Structure 1
Amino acid sequence: MIYPDNFEQKIGFDKIRQYIAEKCLSSLGVEKTEDMSFSSNYDHIQRQLHQTEEFIRIIQEEEDFPIGNFFDVRQALKNIRIEGTWLDEVVLFDLRRSLQTIKDIVSFLRKEEEENSPYPYLQELAGDVVIFPQLLTKIDNILDKFGRIKDNASPELNKIRKEIAQTTNSISKSLNAILRSAQSEGLVDKDVAPTMRDGRLVIPVAPAFKRKLKGIVHDESASGKTVFIEPAEVVEANNKIRELENDERREIVKILISFTDTVRPVAPDIIESYEFLAWIDFIRSKARFSLDINAIKPPMEDKQQIGWNRAKHPLLYLSHKRQNKPIVPLDIWLDDENRILIISGPNAGGKSVCLKTVGLLQYMIQCGLPIPLDESSKVGIFDNIFIDIGDEQSIENDLSTYSSHLTNMKFFVRNCNAKSILLIDEFGGGTEPQIGGAIAESLLKRFNERGAFGVITTHYQNLKHFANENKGVVNGAMLYDRHQMQPLFTLSIGNPGSSFAIEIARKIGLPEDVIADASEIVGSDYINMDKYLQDIVRDKRYWEQKRQNIRQKEKRLEEVASTYESDLLDVEKQRKEIIRKAKADAENILSEANAKIENTIRTIKEAQAEKEKTKEARLSLSQFKENLSSENNETDDKISRKIQKLKEREKKKKQKEKPSSEKISETISIGDNVRLKGQTSVGQIIEIQGKNAVIAFGMIRSTSKLDALEKVSKNQIKREHQKSTFVSSQTSDQMSEKKLNFKQEIDVRGMRGDEALQAVMYFIDDSIQVGASRVRILHGTGTGALRQIIRDYLKTVLGVRKFQDEHVQLGGAGITVVDLE
């Protein structure tokens, strides 16, 4: 249960929902974002968190996850329930692309064995999703890659379009002949070309000559300086074109109706598959938002607890991040022994932010969203979250702020239990302090008796005393720097906080006599108690810092001791190995020496003391001793070299222990050619931002971590370019087939600017691939906007050598001829 109804606005979750919705790829994900709600079901929350965590890993580690073409055609599918209705080309194209995306996502998630899947929760989500490969094949038989109906979608359509093409060519020839005649007679300017008006080919003529050219006047320019005449000779042919276009449209509708009849029976299953696409879009947007706020899936237990280390308010974190300002994290622990935290401290010291952070993060986690805190934290779940914060004064209901506060307290007392968490700001405020404090203490007593959890901010001394004297309630203070007179926005649990009212009043310049009178009014006991509180907080902060420094030094000493111990073990192992090997070498040498001596003695005996033989034996023994001495020296050298190598290895080991980003930053700088490790595409560093770098891959910019990049030399780029010229047989076959089916002209007349530009881009790419030397683009004359867009694009293509108007007899300014390199 969540109370009140505007809970999300009070803690800022409405903005979180908005952030996530903006990251969705389609209305499918936005709908899921709007439906996201609080849950107290442990298994449901865990499943959602696991799904989001897995998608975070996909974003960070996978490059081939399909995220394009998230289209919502559910309404169009619902509209075809009636026989005779059909899906138009645009919807059909969206259906084809989104069904392909569903198929690709399901294939991605099912590519691993179920027991070995790195994404088991997402795989479970994709388990029963139906894909429609046969439907995709049927759509591909109807639509081309630009989403237009193919000529061969039906034999009749093919026949009609051929007849349209023939008639259009005939009209074009006739018009060009008429145009040349008119130009020779001076009725039309030399640079004028036939154009299209209301679907009919016409010739632009000056008003003064419109009577001299027989035909029908269809239109005139806005300035009135040009009229558009359809010559009498082509009127009939243009009429025929119009009839053929009507026939074409009827045949297209017939094709679409036929296809829709095959879709209608499976439309409910397709809509169900779109439900899966909606979940994927929603989970992806949650994952991207989690990365923005450095959120994690924390350890969670199915019980009531808050054990958070370094928790951050997501909206505050994003705001400070944009301003390059640090954020003070929150450490807060509530368990069965200390369930209710009473936070006191100065105004503007961060009490309300602390309370809102608790409410927002707990609500987020129970909506299935990762939250920004340390991995050492522990998270629990609550059945109820109640909040009382802000000015609830209402003119309509005749409620004052305090009346509204008491109305909320009445609801809390009636409905709270051991599975509830209460978030109350300025508890008891809004009325006369003594009675307000008394009512607040009475309510706090009942909250505690019911076993509720809570975070409550207050200035009342009696509530601080209650927390000290009652089990289950604990004091907390927002720390304040007395010397600099500024809040530290840090929560300290265990002691109450001072409001620092006297100090703040003195800082802002309130007259000293006013402060003295106020101190006398409240009495020395109160002033001294507030001073003692400040001293306790100050001392606690001092000793906390001391303890933290000691901990850090102890940890450092442990690390150093561990390193030395490890090094000593390594040295001892190496020493034992050297001694073992030396002993083995000595034994071998001794054995060889004994054998040599015995052999010498035997030789002398056999020679029966012949001087020459004895002399030779002694000489041989002397040489052996010299060799033995030499070997000993070599062994010493080997040992010295071994020790030197060990020292060098240790030095390299220490160098490797440097952060990888430091090593990379020493070698990679702005302007260097780099590539992602394991990839082949080479880009150029244009900016370095800490541990990240911005790389330009042609016209595309990408951001990557420095330690994921490797530097590429110019010679290496040349060698890899030479290697990349190798073409596999499969690629060669595909290119051969593309060359056979390639047409050297494209017709974009009647298309929108962006649609035509995309078609031309694909066409030019294909032309360069198949090695065409010259191609034609039919764009018509019209206003000239389409022609200008296409030519602006052609100027940017490296493979285009030049482009110009077609010969006036073949279409003139209505056609652009492109010569390719």
Structure 2
Amino acid sequence: MIYPPNFEQKTGFDTIRRYLSDKCLSPLGQEWVAEMNFSADFETVTDRLEQTEEFVRILHGDREFPASYFFDVRYSLQRIRPEGTWLDEKELFDLKRSLQTIQEMVRFFSTHSEEEQPLYPRLTRLVGDVVVFPQLIGKIDAILDKYGKIKDNASPELIRIRKEMSSTMNSISRSLQSILRSAQSEGLVDKDVAPTMRDGRLMIPIAPAYKRKIKGIVHDESASGKTVFIEPEIVVEANNRIRELEGEERREIVRILTSFTEIVRPSVPDILHSYTFMGEIDFIRAKALFAEQIQAIKPILEEKQEIDWMRAVHPLLYLSHQKQGKEVVPLDITLRDEKRLLIISGPNAGGKSVCLKTVGLLQYMLQCGLLIPVYGNSHTGIFSQIFIDIGDEQSIENDLSTYSSHLTNMKFFVRHCDDKTLLLIDEFGSGTEPQIGGAIAEALLDRFNRRKSFGVITTHYQNLKHFAEEHEGVVNGAMLYDRHQMQPLFKLSIGNPGSSFAIEIARKIGLPEEVIADASEKVGSDYVDMDKYLQDIVRDKRYWESKRQNIRQQEKKLEEVTARYEKDLEAVNKQRKEIVRQAKEEAGQILADANARIEHTIREIKQAQAEKEQTQLARKALEEFKATVLSAEEEDARIARKMAKIKERNEKKKKKEKTATAKPVFNREVIEAGDAVRLKGQTSAGTVMEVQGKQAVVAFGMIKSTVKIEQLEKVSKGQLKKEAQKSTFVSAQTADNMHDKKLNFKQEIDVRGMRGDEALQAVTYFVDDAILVGVPKVRVLHGTGTGILRQLIRDYLRTVPGISRYHDEHVQFGGAGITVIELE
């Protein structure tokens, strides 16, 4: 339930309807906009929102949605229900094009196999039992040309009539030309005069003085009276025949249209059902376009009563500010079970009413199936009822004052509100004496709270602020105000009441200080101090909120530094382990060498047959050597030396890389071997092979030439690279043209009614473009007819190497009258 009846005018939703209506392509969609209504059913709202969200994806997709001909021919179809009536040429042409659009839309949503999940499941479900009419479209094409006019070959009788008309007109033209040349030779008419058509009859313009020189009937004269139009008697009968043939042509066209309407009439109910589908798609498309315009999304929808929005924006305020180049301050608001009723206080013109209207409008939009401008992770629920009390409802006819109308609304709210109701009340309790007004407002607020209702309520009353502090389910909120700049910030802060800043605003406006002092004295120091304390609380809250944000940022930086330090420490430990491993390998190798030396020494002693004492001395010396090698101090020293070497190697490597990356200074005056140069005044560049005094040997491609150095100018490597790119890559203009061609390429060509050679040429260009832009599949509409055009096209397709296969379209979408070409 929505209350009051003018809810949409109060929230601005009537303007939203106008925006949507303007985005519709036809009256079909505009009727859906007019019938769009509020729903409290979770499944219905979910379905509407997801349909719109899917169409937003279509707008961003690669495939172009068929939205060319959204014509409303329902009135014409209703008109032809009686026998003997017919559709005229324009109505039939509009019917054909709109049926083609419906067929293309059905194909758009049905291009998936039965095993595949459709890309747009909610929209695909709308296709359902929608009927398409390819045979009917083909029959219309048989009698109408591409401009919507009846073809000559629509019937044998029409061919005969139009042939006779053509031959008669040619005869009249020849006769008039002969008479005109004779009159020109006699000086009766000017040389540049030609026969003209008046009232459907060919005549000769001539000066009034010579009108008796030519035998015939004077039919008309110009406005100036300087020219009369004569129909020579020799062509009178022929012109009469033309009139007769025109009548016969009209009668034959009516007969053809009447006969064709007999074919259409049985299909009218199914066609009307298809137009219902077209209207709904038009409506959903308009919703998606509007969502794009206001940057709206589908929030996380839950089947309960809740509002948890981040960065919510009033859409109409957003559009207005966008035109003025201004930013809208977004709204963060939460209404949940423990904090269902939000009491917003603060200065006048501080944004309280805008906040309330934003909540009402966005929730209403959502439950009408429109996406809303909030942040991505926002949550929202469904309310069964939305009640609003805002603005001046004073009525002279009903003898209602502002306060009386306000109380009338409150009576309705108290009787009907429940735990699934969203209440939106502006300036709660105002309009009467403050003490009793505040008391009544407090009593009403208590009833709303006991009924577990949700709501946003704005007020200046202190007792309502106290009530919110003392009762569970009710929470204070404040619209922030900059005391130093003396201007509103339009930001909502939930948790503390706001000050009205009455004294500060009065002082800013320039009210005399003695008046302000008297007012402060009259209201009492307690009230002034309390208002001041509220301001201090808000100020302190903003200060500590700022501090909290700074601490969060510092903590985040600290976490990043800690993570980086741990990563670096891990890398150092890994490197240390690798160094130790390498050092141990070297130590093992040294030990192996030492053992080999010991064995070698022993062998020498044995071979020399030395004394036992000498052998013992040799062994002792070698053992001491081994012990020295194995000593921990030596191993640590070796590891240290190894680390120093690795460090030195790394530094050398870095220095080398730095030297390699440093750009050498480009000296244009000095030309040396290896430099890129070009002849002064020329564009082609070459490379200097060697310098011979005042001459240089330059290689221009494969040609070497000796040139005086004074005739050369040095070219930087970057400039040389740019020239090479210009010569080897596609130009920017060509790339742009290719991009435009790809964007505007249509994947279907209609060659029906063309001659064989003409159709073949059109298909050749079409297939070349398709291969060029890289589309996977295209369609050629050639009709069935005698099959000659189809055979010619397929003979050509066999010779094209870029085509993987071609085949007839599915029977439902045109069958043998359409060839589908699949490209490699």
Q: TM-score, normalised by structure 2?
A: 0.72
Cα deviation for residue 224 of structure 1 reads 2.6
Cα deviation for residue 213 of structure 1 reads 2.3
The residue identity in structure 1 corresponding to 2:55 is: F
Matches within 5 A, 1:677-692: none
CA deviation map 1:517-547 (0-9, x unaligned): 1001110000000000000001001111222
DSSP-derived class of the 1:211 partner: helix
Off by >3 Å, runs of 4+ in structure 1? 552-569, 571-583, 639-644, 712-724, 730-742
Question: 1:453: which partner in 2?
Answer: 454
Question: 2:602: which partner in 1?
Answer: none
Matches within 5 A, 1:230-249: 230-249=231-250
Partners of 2:166 and 2:474 in 1: CA distance: 87
Cα deviation for residue 736 of structure 1 reads 13
Question: 2:535: which partner in 1?
Answer: 534
Partners of 1:581 and 1:147 in 2: CA distance: 88
Question: 1:185: which partner in 2?
Answer: 186
Matches within 5 A, 1:13-24: 13-24=13-24
The residue identity in structure 2 corresponding to 1:154 is: S
Matches within 5 A, 1:666-677: none
Given the superposition, is the C-alpha separation of residues 143 and 185 from structure 1 closer, same or farther in structure 2, using an over 3 Å criterion? same
Question: 2:632: which partner in 1?
Answer: none
The residue identity in structure 1 corresponding to 2:21 is: A
Partners of 1:260 and 1:716 in 2: CA distance: 59
Question: 2:517: which partner in 1?
Answer: 516
CA deviation map 1:391-435 (0-9, x unaligned): 111111111101110110010010110000110000011111111
Cα deviation for residue 715 of structure 1 reads 6.1
Cα deviation for residue 561 of structure 1 reads 5.7
DSSP-derived class of the 1:319 partner: helix
Cα deviation for residue 741 of structure 1 reads 5.7
Cα deviation for residue 301 of structure 1 reads 0.3
Partners of 1:273 and 1:733 in 2: CA distance: 23
Matches within 5 A, 1:195-344: 195-344=196-345
Given the superposition, is the C-alpha separation of residues 280 and 733 from structure 1 closer, same or farther in structure 2, using an over 3 Å criterion? closer
Given the superposition, is the C-alpha separation of residues 118 and 741 from structure 1 closer, same or farther in structure 2, using an over 3 Å criterion? closer
Cα deviation for residue 549 of structure 1 reads 2.8
Is 1:491 equivalent to 2:492 in the alignment? yes
Partners of 1:577 and 1:183 in 2: CA distance: 113
Partners of 1:419 and 1:492 in 2: CA distance: 25
Partners of 1:61 and 1:332 in 2: CA distance: 33
Given the superposition, is the C-alpha separation of residues 642 and 39 from structure 1 closer, same or farther in structure 2, using an over 3 Å criterion? farther
CA deviation map 1:256-313 (0-9, x unaligned): 1111111111101001001111111111111011011110011010110110110000
Cα deviation for residue 112 of structure 1 reads 2.2
Question: 2:682: which partner in 1?
Answer: none
Question: 1:127: which partner in 2?
Answer: 128
Partners of 1:581 and 1:28 in 2: CA distance: 80
Given the superposition, is the C-alpha separation of residues 455 and 240 from structure 1 closer, same or farther in structure 2, using an over 3 Å criterion? same
Cα deviation for residue 564 of structure 1 reads 7.2
Given the superposition, is the C-alpha separation of residues 714 and 165 from structure 1 closer, same or farther in structure 2, using an over 3 Å criterion? farther
Partners of 1:429 and 1:368 in 2: CA distance: 34
DSSP-derived class of the 1:116 partner: coil
CA deviation map 1:51-107 (0-9, x unaligned): 111111111123421111110101111111001111111011111111111111110
| More moved, 206-215 vs 396-405 | 206-215
Cα deviation for residue 210 of structure 1 reads 2.3
Question: 2:820: which partner in 1?
Answer: none
Partners of 2:413 and 2:52 in 1: CA distance: 33
Given the superposition, is the C-alpha separation of residues 361 and 559 from structure 1 closer, same or farther in structure 2, using an over 3 Å criterion? farther
CA deviation map 1:756-786 (0-9, x unaligned): xxxxxx9xx99xx9xxxxxxxxxxxxxxxxx
Matches within 5 A, 1:15-94: 15-94=15-94
Matches within 5 A, 1:240-639: 240-558=241-559
Partners of 2:149 and 2:582 in 1: CA distance: 83
Question: 2:779: which partner in 1?
Answer: none
Cα deviation for residue 516 of structure 1 reads 0.6
DSSP-derived class of the 1:148 partner: coil
The residue identity in structure 1 corresponding to 2:47 is: R
CA deviation map 1:721-743 (0-9, x unaligned): 7999xxxxx9999899756469x
Partners of 1:58 and 1:563 in 2: CA distance: 43
The residue identity in structure 2 corresponding to 1:86 is: W
Cα deviation for residue 358 of structure 1 reads 0.4
| More moved, 302-311 vs 174-183 | 174-183
The residue identity in structure 1 corresponding to 2:2 is: I
Partners of 1:308 and 1:238 in 2: CA distance: 78
Partners of 2:361 and 2:750 in 1: CA distance: 59
- Work out the number of aligned pairs and report it: 636
Given the superposition, is the C-alpha separation of residues 188 and 740 from structure 1 closer, same or farther in structure 2, using an over 3 Å criterion? farther
CA deviation map 1:427-467 (0-9, x unaligned): 01111111111111111111111111110000011111111
Given the superposition, is the C-alpha separation of residues 733 and 89 from structure 1 closer, same or farther in structure 2, using an over 3 Å criterion? closer
The residue identity in structure 1 corresponding to 2:481 is: Y
DSSP-derived class of the 1:71 partner: coil
DSSP-derived class of the 1:252 partner: helix
Cα deviation for residue 211 of structure 1 reads 2.6
The residue identity in structure 2 corresponding to 1:269 is: D
| More moved, 165-174 vs 350-359 | 165-174
The residue identity in structure 2 corresponding to 1:516 is: A
DSSP-derived class of the 1:210 partner: helix
DSSP-derived class of the 2:371 partner: coil
Cα deviation for residue 219 of structure 1 reads 2.6
CA deviation map 1:364-392 (0-9, x unaligned): 00000000010121111100000000011
Matches within 5 A, 1:653-732: 716-717=729-730
Cα deviation for residue 560 of structure 1 reads 6.1
Partners of 1:223 and 1:129 in 2: CA distance: 62
DSSP-derived class of the 2:212 partner: coil
Partners of 2:100 and 2:84 in 1: CA distance: 26
Given the superposition, is the C-alpha separation of residues 255 and 416 from structure 1 closer, same or farther in structure 2, using an over 3 Å criterion? same
Partners of 1:146 and 1:314 in 2: CA distance: 43
Given the superposition, is the C-alpha separation of residues 534 and 192 from structure 1 closer, same or farther in structure 2, using an over 3 Å criterion? same
Given the superposition, is the C-alpha separation of residues 65 and 641 from structure 1 closer, same or farther in structure 2, using an over 3 Å criterion? farther
Partners of 2:168 and 2:748 in 1: CA distance: 39
Cα deviation for residue 576 of structure 1 reads 12
CA deviation map 1:500-527 (0-9, x unaligned): 0000001101011111110011100000
The residue identity in structure 2 corresponding to 1:112 is: H
Partners of 1:41 and 1:78 in 2: CA distance: 35
Given the superposition, is the C-alpha separation of residues 314 and 7 from structure 1 closer, same or farther in structure 2, using an over 3 Å criterion? same
Q: TM-score, normalised by structure 1?
A: 0.72
**Percentage of pairs with the same residue:** 67
Partners of 1:392 and 1:249 in 2: CA distance: 63
Given the superposition, is the C-alpha separation of residues 721 and 368 from structure 1 closer, same or farther in structure 2, using an over 3 Å criterion? closer
Partners of 1:217 and 1:641 in 2: CA distance: 110
| More moved, 389-398 vs 550-559 | 550-559
Question: 1:139: which partner in 2?
Answer: 140
Question: 1:727: which partner in 2?
Answer: none
Question: 1:673: which partner in 2?
Answer: none
Given the superposition, is the C-alpha separation of residues 393 and 732 from structure 1 closer, same or farther in structure 2, using an over 3 Å criterion? closer
| More moved, 108-117 vs 396-405 | 108-117
Q: CA RMSD in A?
A: 3.7
Question: 1:812: which partner in 2?
Answer: none
DSSP-derived class of the 1:117 partner: coil
Q: Which runs of 5+ in 1 are unaligned?
A: 598-635, 652-711, 725-729, 743-761, 770-821
Given the superposition, is the C-alpha separation of residues 578 and 166 from structure 1 closer, same or farther in structure 2, using an over 3 Å criterion? farther
Question: 2:163: which partner in 1?
Answer: 162
Partners of 2:70 and 2:574 in 1: CA distance: 61
- The structure number with the bigger radius of gyration is 2
The residue identity in structure 2 corresponding to 1:14 is: D
The residue identity in structure 2 corresponding to 1:128 is: D
Question: 1:796: which partner in 2?
Answer: none
The residue identity in structure 2 corresponding to 1:133 is: P
Question: 2:5: which partner in 1?
Answer: 5
Cα deviation for residue 567 of structure 1 reads 8.3
